[in-house]
């Protein structure tokens, strides 16, 4: 197998893991075992997988409520994730975080915020800390297209550009903020806008392709590590509803056809052979994680008031 | 579930959900004047702020009811500007937590505009914020900032607990009240049905007695009013205790005399609020009592609120985090009969029928 | 006299009025009659004068703590202004506003906020209200170069551009935010940045020239009234310290020479003939206003709790 | 003016201004570890946050002490990010009012980071905010948000009233305290000189008795502690009254037992705070009292705070707006001797020597 094939296979496997994890979440949801709003990344897996593969383990990532994919791609433990969704002691955060606040600081995922755009300046601050220590680590902030409308995005771009902070602004452009399309919300082109701060940018339209995402990220990371911020925008597609496990095409705010077009590129759908080859092993991994969650105890009163400070 | 919000026997009643009451008053507000408009993220989508704005964009046009980008501070500022030139803006935040992004506009601008300029300008507007709870809302989707906002003069803060409160109060606010109003609505109330009287004496922009009684005073806010009413009923059924439940209703302008008179009568007090107790609403109730008469309370009051921590997501922790029906009943019984009251408590921990069923939409 | 000469003279007179008013404030200040922080516009008068002359009386302006100039240029009463600085009942706001919160809604000055950038969205909202009513009125927000760093500036530009709000963004670029120079604070060029939202822009370097400011504003206002936002940046110079009545060159954060260079263009300094011709009359006007303030009663307890709502 | 902050007789004392104490502790913090840094608008300019950071950029370098653009939310977010990877950030706001622009980061992020992630990460940092007063600060430069911040679990809120409090507390906070701390400093204190003991028992991160007494308890915060001490002295001199003054000092973690024990002894209470009374600190004091024992107060307590309005700028109104020395003394006398105490009050309305002279810098 060529190294490119190997790479494809490796990234594919992680993407498949994410997809099947979220499929499992969909299956489990009606049982009420997961009592947490879930924002699924189904359709968007390749962004997380490609991007994280281009990072070092000690590079830090700040993410959003839609972060199952980044949690897994950055190397978070699957059993702890399921236990967290279940609200159990074995969960990442002993059930205090739920789906919206996954983190794995041991592999660099420094938190996920459910307040849109709020983690963007965190990455800038972490990057500046690295820079001051002359460390080669970088910080990444992952956010949706909608997040760029918040004022703090402007403040963060400006500050990062001024200080030459080694931060990667990674925008997952699924074209939607909840049910609102981008043109309703944004008068600016994201790249041109970021460029006006003197920030180098790139957009990748093939967000289904983890290898392409990885390559784009590698290039971006190189520049960031050399000491400048970079904005990478990756087109992607959210297959499911904004929050929850259902589909919502019947509400008419978007067209099934647009997602169908995207699916025709999606390797996790198109490369059936590889899906079939890998699924059994991946499913076993998931089954183990779910079993761990199921058997993990429920947090009780002893946990209620710990770790407040 | 049916809860009658006022003690008056209404001439005619109908059943109306909290979301339905909101939709009705939004509709009526828009109909009342072309100056009224609604803006907020998703106000014109098919979910329509949990059903409270659904269909209004179609009915009144996209320049009267419109979606905005993610821009809490900017939106609130734009609302102020519109108010200053004669419009009546209604803005929405699907979680009260997001209003912290607009704190500067709310506290430093809206609440000060009238006074700071010596009454030359007014800033009438309605800011609707929704408190989240249940199903793993977690630390950032569950806050209830009534004490924070009510601390600042110039803001009117209300917490409608029932459809009746909305149907009665919103028409007094929209395009009528001279200053900025923050209405803190509770997500768990949206799906509840209430019995509503269209005539009869209206719930005013202050406190009212939701249930008369003589043995103990329960001062409650928002969804805790519903809890308190249920608990009061239980205490009456099981122990013949007559708890007086006061819906504080207006947080910035409560009827303190009503509260004090009730405590003067009962000598016993339970405070049931939706937020943290520390530096919260409960403190203000205590302050108003001791200022008027430090000898009113026969025993230390009971206080129910969120545990002193951010909100956890796990159901098992959330159940401990919020006051349960069990604890509310126990507080009432203990006030009247002491800790050894020996009366069996209700077993189910959950709060309302609606609460048990709640699983979004978020 | 040509109409251009007349225009020059008219604008000159207002600018002179502002300058002499602020000179009077400087003289009065040591007496402690004015107990309010004052942010002087000396050096910046032409911006307010030229801009307001291009507006209709019913166009609205939202301003900042540095607004003596805009208050006067938009047509606010001078006696009420002095009484306000004195904290008297005859003041604009009965002494509740002081220097930082001047307003004159009867001539369209809708307030001045001492929280930087906070009035920018107000103008957008007012403009939208006008648009919805199909009124031809427009809204103007005046702000300093520093204000553009705040997140709400981004939100306001985006929203104005999206909604085609008839709003003029008027930036007074004195190159400073308190003691910080612009290049320390901003990575972006203001025009290029605003252009990325699709907002038409112009910069005027000759901010000492009220006629030029007026012309630039007339052009901008024409476009705004036709239904689009516009950003006009005008270079200007703050002669005095950020707040207070003194000079602060000896602190070394900026060069006297830069201001001296600017002064060589300043008509209020260079056109001595016209200064001399107009001063007596202007001084009389100021003296009357000061006399009004001196004799105006002090607000008492009856005022303390009024107009809270 | 010299005020000894603690009752302990110190072995050696020196005179140190509040601004001087701040500068010392900032300097010591920076010296203690390369992880400590200071950022804020103007921290490196010649005014140096009213003298509290002057010269530190030169001493520690522009990457340790630096100016930032106008970006309160962004700056606070950047501080959080730095804290999460091991730095100790100190941020400044020259007015507490501007911290409302960072409210989202402070409340929704900093205060929740530890709990929300189950203790996996900590967010230690110090946010310094300055309360403005006098010389026409007006509605937007005068707010004192201790009650607002202390309502939210996860935040530590302190209000140092003296140089001693700073010298003692800041070293316990900077690079030591596990979570985010908001220190609310008062502009009028900056120029005051205090006597400071460098040895002896330190002021802890909680309340302490600033002046012992047996006749009436005065619970005060920040600059009102200075006011209360002066008033207490006056009451002793003119009427032999021994007022016990408690500096609440830590707003989020007061020593309530200290307060309650004092009131148990005196039965009388004056609360003197720097903010509005409604939904403010005074309420929490009352709540803690009645929870522990509703029978402690012999008479209704007196409360001193800002009038229920935004802050006006005119001197004549500002003098009425804030509690005067006159009113503070009267409150103490009235608690002990009743309204007809007949003891002449001090005539000057103004608060401190420093206050009378205050005319900036702003
Ligand atoms: C400050 C804030 N405002 C509003 C919301 C409600 N909200 C949650 S997700 C979302 C849309 C965000 O869109 P985008 O950034 O594109 O991310 P996506 O969900 O598409 O991944 C909104 C408005 C929020 N969580 N935070
Ligand atoms: C939100 C906010 N942050 C900080 C300040 C303190 N401050 C007052 S004026 C000012 C500088 C503003 O610069 P600019 O916008 O260029 O206006 P200029 O003073 O130069 O006219 C600052 C930082 C403030 N008033 N408001
Ligand atoms: Mg999106
Ligand atoms: Mg400037």
pLDDT in tens, D96-135: 999 999 999 999 999 999 999 999 999 999 999 999 999 9
Asked if pLDDT for residue D301 goes beyond 50, the answer is yes
Exposure letters D323-342 (e unless 16+ CB within 10 A, then b): bbbbbbbbbbbbbbbeeebe
User: What is the CB neighbour count within 10 angstroms for residue B4?
Assistant: 18
**Residue D219 main-chain phi, psi, to 5 deg:** -100, 120
Residue-range definition of the domain harbouring residue B143: 13-197
Read off the pLDDT of each residue in D71-85 and give the average, rounded to a whole number: 98
Q: Please give the pLDDT value at position B359.
A: 65
Based on the fold, state whether residues D73 and D191 are members of the same structural domain: yes
Based on the fold, state whether residues B186 and B224 are members of the same structural domain: no
Q: Which chains touch B (3 or more CB pairs under 8 A)?
A: A, C, D
Asked if pLDDT for residue B281 goes beyond 60, the answer is yes
Based on the fold, state whether residues B193 and B234 are members of the same structural domain: no
Q: What percent of chain A has pLDDT over 70?
A: 100
Mutation test residue for ligand 2: of C118, C153, C170, C177, the one with most atoms within 8 Å of CB: C177
- What are the pLDDT digits (tens) for D4-21? 444 445 468 999 999 999
Read off the pLDDT of each residue in D56-83 and give the average, rounded to a whole number: 98
Exposure letters A222-249 (e unless 16+ CB within 10 A, then b): ebbbeebbbbbbbbbbbbbbbbbbeeeb
Asked if pLDDT for residue B1 goes beyond 80, the answer is no
Mark which of B141, B175, B197 sits at the end of a domain.
Answer: B197
Is B81 close to C121, i.e. CB distance below 8 A?
yes
As a whole number of angstroms, the distance between CA D360 and CA D362 comes to 5
* In a domain? residue B74: yes
Helix (H/G/I), strand (E/B), else coil: A133: coil
Asked if pLDDT for residue D359 goes beyond 90, the answer is no
| Nearest-CA residue for atom 20 of ligand 1 | A177
* In a domain? residue B157: yes
Based on the fold, state whether residues B231 and B332 are members of the same structural domain: yes
Ligand 1, closest atom to CA A178?
A: 11
Q: Please give the pLDDT value at position D3.
A: 44
Based on the fold, state whether residues D96 and D221 are members of the same structural domain: no
Return the residue matching tokens 């032409």: C46
Read off the pLDDT of each residue in B109-115 and give the average, rounded to a whole number: 98
Q: Please give the pLDDT value at position A149.
A: 98
Read off the pLDDT of each residue in D65-76 and give the average, rounded to a whole number: 98
Q: Please give the pLDDT value at position D39.
A: 98
Q: Please give the pLDDT value at position D356.
A: 56
D223 and D249 in contact (C-beta within 8 Å)?
no
Helix (H/G/I), strand (E/B), else coil: C199: coil
Min Cα–Cα distance to chain D from B193, Å? 32
* In a domain? residue D304: yes
Q: What is the DSSP letter of D278?
A: T
As a whole number of angstroms, the distance between CA C247 and CA C243 comes to 10
Min Cα–Cα distance to chain D from B144, Å? 11
As a whole number of angstroms, the distance between CA A101 and CA A89 comes to 15
Is B294 close to D300, i.e. CB distance below 8 A?
yes
As a whole number of angstroms, the distance between CA A76 and CA A70 comes to 9
Read off the pLDDT of each residue in B67-92 and give the average, rounded to a whole number: 98
Contact list in C for residue B79 (CB cut-off 8 A) is 125
- What are the pLDDT digits (tens) for A15-25? 999 999 999 99
Helix (H/G/I), strand (E/B), else coil: B99: helix
Contact list in C for residue D314 (CB cut-off 8 A) is 87-88, 91, 94-96, 98, 298-299
**Could you tell me the CATH number of the domain that includes residue B130?**
3.40.50.970
Chain A residues touching chain B at CB-CB below 8 Å: 32, 35-37, 87-88, 91, 94-101, 113-117, 146-147, 149-151, 177-180, 184-186, 243-244, 251-253, 298-301, 303-305, 308
* In a domain? residue B6: no
Q: Please give the pLDDT value at position D355.
A: 60
- What are the pLDDT digits (tens) for B130-141? 999 999 999 999
Is the previous residue joined to B164 through a cis bond, with omega within 30 degrees of 0?
no
Based on the fold, state whether residues D142 and D221 are members of the same structural domain: no
* In a domain? residue D203: no
Based on the fold, state whether residues B103 and B174 are members of the same structural domain: yes
Based on the fold, state whether residues D186 and D296 are members of the same structural domain: no
User: Using 50, 70 and 90 to split pLDDT, how confident is the model at B6?
Assistant: very low
User: Using 50, 70 and 90 to split pLDDT, how confident is the model at B349?
Assistant: low
- What are the pLDDT digits (tens) for A3-12? 999 999 999 9
Query: How many angstroms separate the most distant Cα atoms in chain A?
Result: 54
Closest Cα partner for D45 from D92, D97, D77, D81? D92
Based on the fold, state whether residues D21 and D150 are members of the same structural domain: yes
Is D310 close to C178, i.e. CB distance below 8 A?
no
All residues at 6 or more sequence positions from C161 whose CB lies less than 8 Å from its CB, including other chains: A187, A188, C197, C198, C199, C229
Q: Please give the pLDDT value at position C287.
A: 98
Does A68 sit in the ligand 1 pocket, CB within 6 Å? no
- What are the pLDDT digits (tens) for B155-194? 999 999 999 999 999 999 999 999 999 999 999 999 999 9
As a whole number of angstroms, the distance between CA C298 and CA C294 comes to 10
Based on the fold, state whether residues D54 and D177 are members of the same structural domain: yes
Q: What is the mean pLDDT of chain D?
A: 94
From the list C153, C187, C197, the residue facing A161 with the nearest CB is: C187
- Tokens standing for residue B177: 């009240």
Q: Please give the pLDDT value at position B139.
A: 98
As a whole number of angstroms, the distance between CA B359 and CA D87 comes to 40
Based on the fold, state whether residues D65 and D107 are members of the same structural domain: yes
Does D69 sit in the ligand 2 pocket, CB within 6 Å? no
Is A115 close to D109, i.e. CB distance below 8 A?
yes
Mark which of D167, D197, D227 sits at the end of a domain.
Answer: D197
Mark which of B163, B197, B231 sits at the end of a domain.
Answer: B197
- Tokens standing for residue A78: 């699957």
Domains, chain C, ranges and CATH? 3-298 (3.40.50.970)
In the sheet that A167-173 helps form, which strands lie side by side, from edge to edge?
A109-113, A60-64, A139-144, A167-173, A230-235, A200-204
All residues at 6 or more sequence positions from C225 whose CB lies less than 8 Å from its CB, including other chains: C136, C138, C166
Asked if pLDDT for residue A51 goes beyond 90, the answer is yes
Closest Cα partner for A13 from A274, A293, A296? A274
Q: What is the mean pLDDT of chain A?
A: 98
As a whole number of angstroms, the distance between CA A282 and CA C199 comes to 51
Q: Please give the pLDDT value at position D201.
A: 78
User: Using 50, 70 and 90 to split pLDDT, how confident is the model at B347?
Assistant: confident
**Residue C37 main-chain phi, psi, to 5 deg:** -65, 135
As a whole number of angstroms, the distance between CA A116 and CA A94 comes to 24
Mutation test residue for ligand 1: of B42, B70, B94, the one with most atoms within 8 Å of CB: B70
CA of D181 to the centre of ligand 1 (A): 29
Asked if pLDDT for residue D1 goes beyond 60, the answer is no
pTM of the entire predicted model: 0.97
From the list D63, D74, D121, the residue facing A121 with the nearest CB is: D74
Q: Please give the pLDDT value at position D199.
A: 74
Q: Tell me, yes or no, if C131 comes closer than 8 A to chain A by beta carbon.
A: no
Question: What's the structural domain count of chain D?
Answer: 2
Is B140 close to A35, i.e. CB distance below 8 A?
no
* In a domain? residue D86: yes
Contact list in C for residue A165 (CB cut-off 8 A) is none
* In a domain? residue D360: no
Low-confidence stretches of chain C (pLDDT beneath 50): none
Based on the fold, state whether residues B252 and B188 are members of the same structural domain: no
As a whole number of angstroms, the distance between CA B159 and CA B274 comes to 10
Read off the pLDDT of each residue in A36-45 and give the average, rounded to a whole number: 97
Q: Tell me, yes or no, if B31 comes closer than 8 A to chain C by beta carbon.
A: no
**Could you tell me the CATH number of the domain that includes residue B286?**
3.40.50.920
Q: Please give the pLDDT value at position D200.
A: 74
As a whole number of angstroms, the distance between CA A71 and CA A55 comes to 13
All residues at 6 or more sequence positions from B283 whose CB lies less than 8 Å from its CB, including other chains: B147, B277, D279, D282, D283, D284, D285, D286, D287
Asked if pLDDT for residue D2 goes beyond 60, the answer is no
Read off the pLDDT of each residue in D295-321 and give the average, rounded to a whole number: 97
As a whole number of angstroms, the distance between CA D205 and CA D181 comes to 11
* In a domain? residue B324: yes
Closest Cα partner for D127 from D185, D60, D84, D46? D185
Min Cα–Cα distance to chain C from A281, Å? 48
Does A66 sit in the ligand 1 pocket, CB within 6 Å? yes
């Amino acid at each position: 197998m060529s190294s490119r094939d190997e790479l494809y296979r490796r990234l594919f496997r992680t993407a498949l893991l994410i997809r099947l994890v979220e499929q499992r979440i969909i299956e489990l949801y009606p049982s009420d075992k997961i009592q947490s709003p879930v924002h699924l990344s189904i359709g968007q897996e390749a962004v997380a997988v490609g991007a994280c593969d281009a990072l070092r383990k000690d590079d830090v990532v700040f993410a959003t409520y839609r972060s199952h994919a980044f949690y897994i791609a950055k190397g978070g433990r699957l059993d702890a994730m399921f236990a967290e969704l279940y609200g159990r002691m074995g969960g990442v955060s002993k059930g205090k975080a739920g789906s919206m606040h996954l983190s794995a600081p041991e592999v660099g995922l420094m938190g996920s915020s459910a307040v849109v755009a709020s983690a963007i300046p965190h990455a800038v601050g972490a990057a500046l800390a690295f820079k001051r220590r002359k460390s080669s680590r970088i910080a990444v902030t992952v956010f949706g297209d909608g997040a760029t409308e918040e004022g703090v995005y402007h403040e963060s771009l400006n500050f990062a550009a001024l200080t030459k902070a080694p931060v990667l602004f990674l925008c997952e452009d699924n074209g939607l903020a909840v049910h609102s399309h981008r043109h309703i919300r944004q008068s600016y082109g994201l790249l041109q806008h970021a460029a006006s701060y003197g920030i180098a940018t790139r957009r990748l339209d093939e967000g289904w392709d983890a290898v392409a995402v990885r390559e784009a990220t590698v290039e971006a990371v190189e520049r960031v590590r050399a000491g400048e911020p970079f904005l990478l925008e990756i087109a992607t597609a959210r297959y499911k509803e904004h929050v929850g496990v259902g589909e919502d095409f019947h509400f008419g705010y978007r067209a099934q056809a647009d997602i169908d077009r995207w699916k025709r590129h999606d390797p996790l759908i198109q490369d059936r052979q590889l899906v079939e080859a890998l699924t059994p092993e991946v499913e076993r991994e998931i089954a183990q994680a779910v079993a761990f969650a199921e058997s993990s105890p429920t947090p009780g009163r002893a946990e209620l008031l710990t770790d407040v400070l | 579930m049916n809860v009658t919000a006022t003690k008056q026997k209404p001439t005619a009643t109908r059943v109306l959900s909290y979301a339905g009451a909101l939709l009705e008053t939004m509709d009526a507000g828009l109909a009342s004047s072309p100056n009224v408009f609604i803006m907020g993220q998703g106000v014109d989508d098919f979910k329509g702020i949990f059903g409270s704005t659904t269909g209004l964009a179609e009915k009144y046009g996209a320049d009267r009811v419109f979606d905005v980008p993610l821009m809490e501070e900017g939106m609130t500022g734009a609302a102020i500007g519109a108010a200053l030139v004669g419009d009546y803006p209604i803005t929405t935040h699907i979680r009260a937590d997001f209003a912290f992004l607009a704190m500067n506009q709310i506290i430093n601008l809206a609440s000060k505009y009238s006074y700071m300029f010596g009454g030359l300008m007014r800033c009438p507007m309605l800011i609707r914020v929704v408190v989240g709870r249940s199903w793993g809302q977690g630390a950032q989707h569950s806050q209830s900032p009534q004490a924070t906002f009510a601390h600042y003069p110039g803001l009117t803060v209300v917490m409608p607990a029932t459809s009746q409160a909305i149907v009665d109060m919103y028409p007094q606010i929209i395009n009528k009240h001279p200053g900025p109003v923050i209405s803190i609505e509770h997500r768990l109330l949206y799906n509840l049905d209430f019995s509503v009287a269209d005539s009869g004496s209206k719930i005013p922009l202050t406190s009212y007695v939701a249930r008369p009684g003589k043995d103990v005073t329960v001062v409650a806010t928002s969804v805790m009013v519903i809890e308190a009413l249920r608990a009061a009923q239980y205490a009456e059924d099981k122990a013949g205790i007559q708890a007086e439940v006061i819906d504080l209703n207006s947080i910035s302008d409560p009827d303190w005399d009503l509260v004090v008179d009730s405590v003067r009568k009962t000598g016993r007090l339970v405070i049931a609020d939706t937020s943290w107790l520390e530096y919260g609403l409960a403190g203000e109730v205590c302050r108003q009592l001791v200022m008027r008469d430090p000898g009113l309370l026969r025993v230390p009051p009971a206080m129910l609120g969120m545990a002193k921590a951010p909100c956890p997501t796990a159901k098992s922790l959330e159940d401990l985090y919020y006051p349960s029906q069990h604890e509310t009943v126990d507080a009432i019984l203990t006030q009247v009969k002491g800790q050894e009251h020996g009366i069996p408590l209700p077993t189910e921990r959950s709060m309302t029928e609606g609460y048990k069923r709640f699983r979004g939409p978020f």
